[in-house]
Structure 1
């Protein structure tokens, strides 16, 4: 039953997840953590971190890891957990595959019409909103701690967040370097 639920859930996310993988993160978290309870917030945060560090699109990587972890947490063994990964990944990619096959020729034919341009203009703010939601959903006490629980971890986490944002946005530091720097700083300062 969990495989059918995984397929339906990730198919819906793939169908309605505009803006790429980062835009899908809030949808994935809402479904796997809050609606179905397959993962904890902490597990999801770890999955996002691993998905960013591994090669490939973050949405697909997240689906793969979420499928594996959901099936594993449900008490199934290694082989079935692999099947969960395949199910979630395939379900996430399937809507895009179907839609691209169906609309490729139509879109090329009508790309420069005012109606199509208006649709894309309307989607841009929605994508920015989904990215902002994904960022805000990951800013929890589990990830940043809280000033009254562990002030040292909270302020170091806020500093690393701000430094990463400023470093990539204004100083154009490679995001891979920022991940390495932040990981090293977290290891040194929070251990």
Structure 2
């Protein structure tokens, strides 16, 4: 158990240290490490975890790490994964806050961040593509996807409202389907 907790800590430490752009940029990296390499979770469970942690207040990366750690190894797993993912950010933010005034106008620093931005966007796009491949292509899911995009982009509805509405719609739809199947 201790070996797995250490491995979990270092997986999330590595992800936290080398991923810029927040939780969404980390999704594909977490999936590769936890689902593909370690085979600790199935892809379907991973997608469910993403859905659940988006409804919880707080940083997506910390919520994902803690939830995955808890699901795998209970409270010690949640602590191990959570500490792993926040440690690099804590150290980096501390260093930046100490050195910010000295380096804020350096051309090298600005160029560094100009290079990181497109890479972060690509990580998010990869996560979107991978997640979309795990979703069944049917009328209901296309409706939920399209409605969600319209709600967020055009109507400026908060993502939490979209997620909760989709969850309730899914529950009601599946409940009706279940009743319909029970009659046959």
Q: TM-score, normalised on structure 2?
A: 0.88
2:162 corresponds to which residue?
Answer: 178
1:12-51 pair list within 5 angstroms: 12-51=14-53
What value does the CA root-mean-square deviation take over the aligned residues? Answer: 1.4
**1:160 counterpart = 2:151:** no
How many residues of Structure 1 are paired with residues of Structure 2 in the alignment? 173
Could you report, residue by residue, the CA deviation over 1:58-90 in whole angstroms, capped at 9, with x for unpaired residues? 11000001111222xxxxxxxxx1001100000
For the residue of structure 2 that corresponds to 1:30, the secondary structure is helix
1:46-61 pair list within 5 angstroms: 46-61=48-63
- Distance in 2 between residues matched to 1:187 and 1:119, nearest whole Å: 45
- Distance in 2 between residues matched to 1:10 and 1:111, nearest whole Å: 29
Check conservation: 2:66, 2:79, Cα contact below 8 A.
yes
1:83 corresponds to which residue?
Answer: 76
For the residue of structure 1 that corresponds to 2:112, the secondary structure is helix
Write out the 4+ residue segments of structure 1 that deviate beyond 6 Å after TM superposition.
Answer: none
For the residue of structure 2 that corresponds to 1:134, the secondary structure is helix
**Structure 2, gaps ≥5 residues long:** 176-184
**Structure 1, gaps ≥5 residues long:** 72-80, 147-153
